[in-house]
Amino acid sequence: MIDFDKMIDNHLYKENKPKEIGRYYPSQIGSCLRKVWYSYKFPMETSPELVKIFELGNILHDFVVKVLQSEKNPDVELVSTELPFKQEYDDFLVSGRIDNIIIVKASGKSILVEVKSTGNVDFVEDAMPHNVVQLQLYMHVTGIHNGILLYVDKRNLKSKVFSVPYSEEEAVKIINRFRALHKFLKAGVPPDPEAREDKKTVWMCKYCEYRDKCYGEIPTSAKWL
């Protein structure tokens, strides 16, 4: 009998290489900085379940590209997809890939489209803050100051779209978060567990692979949830 689950795991397996201090990624910086710091100092193997979730996201992104390219949707033109970029700040590098750049033909306006898959789009009531951070950085780097976050339901392809206004002030804050992360990593000192400062962000801890380590080092208190 064929064990197709095992075959999928084999197909998707990638060797987990240690991250390089001084090279950072936009998808990281909206997360708790302590979690990101742990991922550099104490790298963990990504679970097969999480790898599959990431792959589903890749499959959905490929589908979105086909939709944007379709001649049945003549009001938009897909100019670029998976556009790589590298930006140097001080003594570190930020690199990543921008999902899609489209042109709305009626207005000639270029728009960055960042695609996110979700388990249930009905629960997505607004653009997720950590996704907004990523898109803000892309808009800042490219000079294209029109961006949208496109959430696509993995179950049924239903979607929601949220416009994200560009803010130079927010973009500078994001770059400074990279600077702070770089400083903490070079010093070997972990940042505060910022996700645990507020009820609005402590949900991140539920899904964090470093939860036990973090709570072991900094127990729950009046300050840290």
Q: Write the DSSP assignment of 54-90 as a string of letters.
A: HHHHHHHHHHHHHHHH-TT-TTEEEEEEEEEEEEEET
Q: Between β-strands 109-118 and 92-104, what pairing exists: parallel, antiparallel or unpaired?
A: antiparallel
- Domains in the chain, please, with CATH? 47-167 (3.90.320.10)
Number of H helices, E strands in the chain: 7, 6
On average, the pLDDT of the chain sits at 95
pLDDT at 62: 96
Would you state the pLDDT for residue 60? 95
pTM: predicted TM-score of the whole model, two decimal places: 0.92
Q: Give me the pLDDT at residue 1, please.
A: 86
Low-confidence ranges of the chain (pLDDT < 50): none
**What's the confidence (pLDDT) of residue 223?**
94
Dump pLDDT digits (tens) for 128-185: 999 999 999 999 999 999 999 999 999 999 999 999 999 999 999 999 999 999 999 9
User: For residue 15, what pLDDT is reported?
Assistant: 81
